[in-house]
Amino acid sequence: MTERNKGTASPSVTRRRLMFGAAALAMMAALPTVAFAAGPPTAEVNTTGLAVTDDTVKVGILHSVSGTMAISETGSVQAEKLAIDEINAAGGVLGRKIEVIQEDGASDWPTFAEKARKLLVEDKTAAVFGCWTSASRKAVLPVFEQYNGMLYYPTFYEGLEESPNVIYTGQEATQQILAGIDWVTKEKGAKTFYLLGSDYIWPRTSNKIARKHIEKLGLEVVGEDYYPLGHTQFNSVINKIKLRKPDVIYAIVVGGSNVAFYKQLKAAGIDMTKEKPLLLTISVTEDEIRGIGGENINGAYAAMKYFQSIDNENNKSFVDKFKEAYGADMVVGDVTQAAYLGPWLWKAAVEKAGSFDIDKVRAASPGIELDTAPEGYVKIHENHHLWSKTRIGHALPDGQYDIVYETTDLMEPNPFPEGYQ
């Protein structure tokens, strides 16, 4: 098994990147000139040599904008830049304008580690917003802990981690994996599952947790398979699924492989609208559906905390601003929304701490809350994860999800659930 994948951007990804760049420039040109209020003296708010002056503070953005993961991570870059532009338009952080240094992880985990070190050691950024896959996060984690940086990580993930140098703005396993399986067994009467994923840390660990939960419920896993990132030939596993007739295909395929998988699933005659089998994914957001095509995933279900179709004023405003910035045809998925939260949570922690120093920002982070989040109210737990709701979306032909279920209350994050480690 290898987690190293040096992808080359496809023409469609290259076009999106060019459009993204043009849209971002247009948006920045349209922003009004902001008079930044005088903040506290730099000597008081930056005692550790970070890239902070009397007027500016530098942060990093580290995502894949090339390779197989660009289909998923481009939206995160866009959301983080949108948040930063909005913060700057409102006067910045402690009277300082945020300046961005962006690096490309290129869907390659050693490259992520290399770029993380650059952002912390050479650029001395005050925070980094980045990563998508667990493999990239695991690659950069020792770097952030060694050099005492702060990473805001936006992706739903397997849990089993709690670092003082990471704020996890996505969901962990109890909020997504366990809750999603509970829903499909209770509401759909599912008894048999086929587990499928891309071959790296997150899908394998997530399916390990899923299998334990399925078996605890007295149910059965009838198959389990993994394929390399960028894999495009799924006909053999689709034939195995048809032969074993599971009630649920539990799919954790990521990146560009999703396009091939869902198109081949439909071509093989599996009509997800009939729910025989039902497909439940924890990896396909509206961002991936842009590449897959809504007609190819129509009828599938997804367990996440955010869908673009959430009906609240925060979300309507956010989606409108996102489309205004990047194009009317753009969509917003779960990770994109969670990425948008990162700069706002960092700003709130810095201002609570009255300092950019990492140790002070870390100490100020638990209890930070946002009632302006598109998903609704969020709050940072002492374990650096967010309280959030679980929602189930039903994929529609237009590429959006119809929300068919959501928890009444926020779920407390528990990255180390007993019996699942």
- Is residue 32 in a domain? no
Is residue 329 scored above 70 in pLDDT? Answer: yes
- Is residue 35 in a domain? no
- Is residue 19 in a domain? no
- Is residue 68 in a domain? yes
- Which CATH number does the domain housing residue 139 bear? 3.40.50.2300
3-state secondary structure of 387: strand
pLDDT band at 332 (very low <50, low <70, confident <90, very high): very high
- Is residue 14 in a domain? no
Identify whether residues 362 and 278 lie together within a single domain: no
Mean pLDDT of 63-68: 96
Hey, what amino acid is at 344? W
3-state secondary structure of 389: coil
405 forms beta bridges with 392
For 164, residues 6+ apart whose C-beta sits below 8 A from its C-beta are 145, 362, 384
Model-level pTM? 0.90
Question: Which has the closest alpha carbon to 55: 47, 63, 46?
Answer: 46
Identify whether residues 196 and 164 lie together within a single domain: no
User: Could you give the C-alpha distances from 308 to 263, 304, 403, 405, in angstroms and in order?
Assistant: 23, 11, 10, 14
Show the CA angle centred on residue 409, arms to residues 408 and 413, nearest 5°.
135
Give the pLDDT of residue 21: 47
Per-residue tokens: 370: 């946002």
Q: What is the residue whose two structure tokens read 């930044």?
A: 36
Identify whether residues 371 and 349 lie together within a single domain: yes
Mean pLDDT of 61-75: 95
Q: Please tell me the distance from the alpha carbon of residue 129 to that of residue 342, in angstroms, as a whole number.
A: 7
Structural domain for 295, as ranges = 175-303+391-404
Pairing label, strands 369-370, 301-304: unpaired
Cβ atoms of residues 372 and 318 within 8 Å: no
- Is residue 399 in a domain? yes
Hey, what amino acid is at 300? A
Identify whether residues 185 and 213 lie together within a single domain: yes
Is residue 126 scored above 50 in pLDDT? Answer: yes
Identify whether residues 215 and 109 lie together within a single domain: no
Give the pLDDT of residue 35: 64
Give the pLDDT of residue 421: 82
Q: Please tell me the distance from the alpha carbon of residue 182 to that of residue 42, in angstroms, as a whole number.
A: 51
Identify whether residues 90 and 144 lie together within a single domain: yes
Mean pLDDT of 255-271: 96
Mean pLDDT of 86-102: 98
Give the pLDDT of residue 18: 41
Q: What percent of the chain has pLDDT over 90?
A: 90
Q: Please tell me the distance from the alpha carbon of residue 17 to that of residue 22, in angstroms, as a whole number.
A: 9
- Is residue 4 in a domain? no
97 forms beta bridges with 56
Q: What is the residue whose two structure tokens read 């936006």?
A: 154
Question: Which has the closest alpha carbon to 177: 252, 71, 110?
Answer: 252
Mean pLDDT of 174-203: 97
For the chain, the domain total comes to: 2
Identify whether residues 100 and 158 lie together within a single domain: yes
Identify whether residues 116 and 216 lie together within a single domain: no
Identify whether residues 211 and 243 lie together within a single domain: yes
Identify whether residues 99 and 164 lie together within a single domain: yes
The rounded mean pLDDT for the chain is 93
- Is residue 336 in a domain? yes
Q: How confident is the model over 359-391, as pLDDT tens digits?
A: 999 999 999 999 999 999 999 999 999 999 999
Q: Please tell me the distance from the alpha carbon of residue 126 to that of residue 260, in angstroms, as a whole number.
A: 39
Give the pLDDT of residue 361: 98
Identify whether residues 255 and 400 lie together within a single domain: yes
Identify whether residues 77 and 127 lie together within a single domain: yes
Taking the C-alpha atoms of 325, 98, 356 and 365 in order, what is their torsion angle to the nearest 10 degrees? 0
Q: How confident is the model over 14-56, as pLDDT tens digits?
A: 444 444 444 444 444 444 456 677 789 999 999 999 999 999 9
